[in-house]
Structure 1
Amino acid sequence: MPTSERLIAGVELGGTKCIAILASGPDRILEEVRVPTTHPDETLPALEAALDGWREFAAIGVASFGPVSIDPQAGDYGQITSTPKPHWAYTDVAKRLKARYGVPVGFHSDVVGAAMGEARWGAGQGLGDLAYVTVGTGVGAGMIAHGRPVDGMTHSELGHIRPPRLPGDDWGGACPFHGACVEGLAAGPAIAARTGMKGETLSLDDPAWDTVVDALSHLFATLTLTGVPRRIVLGGGVMVGNPDLLPRLRRATAANLNGYVALPQVQEMETFIVPAALGGNAGPLGAVVLGEMALEERFTSA
């Protein structure tokens, strides 16, 4: 049976909830379970209880909040590493699942998983090269080139670059590591820390949005200047339900680039920066793609 038709267990480990599906694609999701992300001694057994009942999958893919270790040669491969999330630092995930189920396990960051899902079935369908940016509890960016994640020693942390500041804006930012990085200026907690209100209740003409748009547009321009993405796909809670942000982000990104990347794919901002298409299924479906990749690598190396 082709790997694209085999059932894969796709697991998205999120900061507040975890989703596991048994699927081969968006049109063939046979099972789904959601469990809260509490303590790993509670959350992982709850996910395993669901997978134990399925038992028909050829591989497992895991797209996890991070930072995570993605280097297969590293001793801590498959672990969540120095996460600030209580109790989860250095939790082994991939090796635990492989030992329990005896199938190939693909493992990567949650944002790369979502990028893989959108590239295969969503807003990046048909494109081998794209970037996926999530703006929610944090800001993360995953890039895909030639259909595979762009990574090396580890995954990118582009949400933590420090953008130029708007004139007169000296707010220190909300990131505990970098203060006024993109995440510290534009993520949901940063908006709440600055204004005392959640983004979904903040007036569209509040000046705090100027900072959000400026920080994110510098991130998008930086992604564009890597030469990788043919499209930038946006997801996350700050973006969802706030369609007025999108045209502002397009205009600001074009202004930052100032015509330097003279390619029609980039200059057509309405098709270059787009909303995600898979919604809440981007992560678990991306995990399915990661599982497929692990299965293909096993066959290739056998």
Structure 2
Amino acid sequence: MTDITYLGVELGGTKCVCTLASGPDAIIAQHRIPTTEPGETLGAIERVLDDWMTDHRPVSLGLASFGPIDLDPDSPTYGHITATTKPGWKNASVAQRFARSTGLPTAIDTDVAGAALAEGRWGGAKGLSSFAYITVGTGVGAGIVVGGRSVRGLGHPEAGHMHVARMPGDAWPGACTFHGDCVEGLASGFAIEQRSGRPASEIAADDPVWAAVAHTLAGMCHNLVMTAVPERILIGGGVVTRQPQILPMVRQRLVASLAGYGDAIAVTGRIERFIASPALGDQAGPLGAIALALDAAKAGQAAPAGV
């Protein structure tokens, strides 16, 4: 294994994970930092990175951050967190700050896009050029990869905030502070707790709330099939991981929803492979930051064989 090293930082809503690695199977060090206010959190990350740079010679830095993020390289606020609901973080500079403090080539994307890229490079979407990674936790996010690259346009995808057809008879207004009954407002861990009055981890597998969650996620997958036409959709995150009955329910509802239209036969004929669990587990996010670091280094040096 090469001694070329990369730095990665996954910035999450509750914690940040700093990673020093040569590749997916060569994680040299990891350090977790609570996400508090920006000055304290980003300063603590800089100290970790500075220590690692003293002892190693990393060639690049990847940042996989909660958002929304300004990803327009021509924007004066490139790499800033924008309209987040997390107190104190609106307009916080992330990419520019770390590029200056480390002096390294730096790439930034959303945390879920980073995880998607890691799954495509090393995990459950390896060998595919177009796929989606959905995480269902406190919120709902989706990383969408087309042609081997994460989707960007006017901004980055916020598929967790799409509206989908409601389950018949379900009139609960939803919990999203922006959109009410969007996917995140109906299927996130926060929404489930608001609806049921208790954390998702404490709800029985046969509780009716899971039918509503599966219906919502199947609607999200339906829309992704009809727009991004992914070769596979990986669904992970704490809610789905702790409630394994959800994925079979989503598969069943997606098959019914597609109703044989368009590419539905290609989907339904391999539904258990099409809707699947991520392969990298808890390391998808941290390795997503390393995948972005590899992209940042690509112009200046070749990635080592096997990475």
Instruction: Please classify the TM superposition score into its range, dividing by the shorter chain length.
Output: over 0.9
- Give distance in 2, aligned partners of 1:228 and 1:10: 30
Query: How many equivalent pairs are there?
Result: 298
The answer for the alignment partner of 2:17 in structure 1 is: 19
Runs of 5+ in structure 1 lacking a partner?
Answer: none
Match of 1:287 among 289, 292, 296: 289
Deviation at 1:132, TM superposition (A): 0.3
Aligned amino acid, residue 126 of structure 2: Q
Which structure 2 residues correspond to residues 1-302 of structure 1 after superposition, within 5 A? 6-55=4-53, 56-260=57-261, 261-265=263-267, 267-297=269-299
Checking the alignment, whether the CA contact within 8 Å between 1:25 and 1:288 is kept in structure 2 is: yes
Distance in structure 1 (CA, Å) of the matches to 2:173 and 2:81: 28
CA distance in 1 between counterparts of 2:260 and 2:300 reads 44
The answer (yes or no) to whether the contact 1:233–1:276 under 8 Å persists in 2 is: yes
Deviation at 1:33, TM superposition (A): 0.4
Q: Which amino acid in 2 is paired with 1:178?
A: H
* Aligned-partner SS, 1:240: helix
Cα distance in 2 for partners of 1:255, 1:265 equals 11
Identity %: 48
Query: Could you give the per-residue CA deviations for residues 181-232 of structure 1, whole angstroms, max 9, x where no partner exists?
Result: 0100000010000000111111122211121111110001111112431110
Structure 1 residues 298 and 77: CA distance shift in structure 2, 3 A: farther
Deviation at 1:163, TM superposition (A): 1.1
Give ranges in structure 2 of 5+ residues lacking alignment.
Answer: 303-307
Please say if residues 104 and 298 of structure 1, whose CA atoms lie closer than 8 Å, have aligned partners that are also in contact: no
Q: In 1, distance between residues paired with 2:272 and 2:105?
A: 39
Report the residue type matching 2:151 in the other structure: V
Q: Aligned partner of 2:280: which letter?
A: L
Q: Which moved more, 1:237-246 or 1:109-118?
A: 237-246
Q: What amino acid sits opposite 1:28 in the alignment?
A: A
Measured after TM superposition, the shift of residue 243 of structure 1 is: 1.1
Residue type matched to 1:165 in 2?
R
Whole-Å Cα distance in 2 between the matches of residues 8 and 278 of structure 1? 18
Preserved CA contact (<8 Å) 2:66 2:111: yes
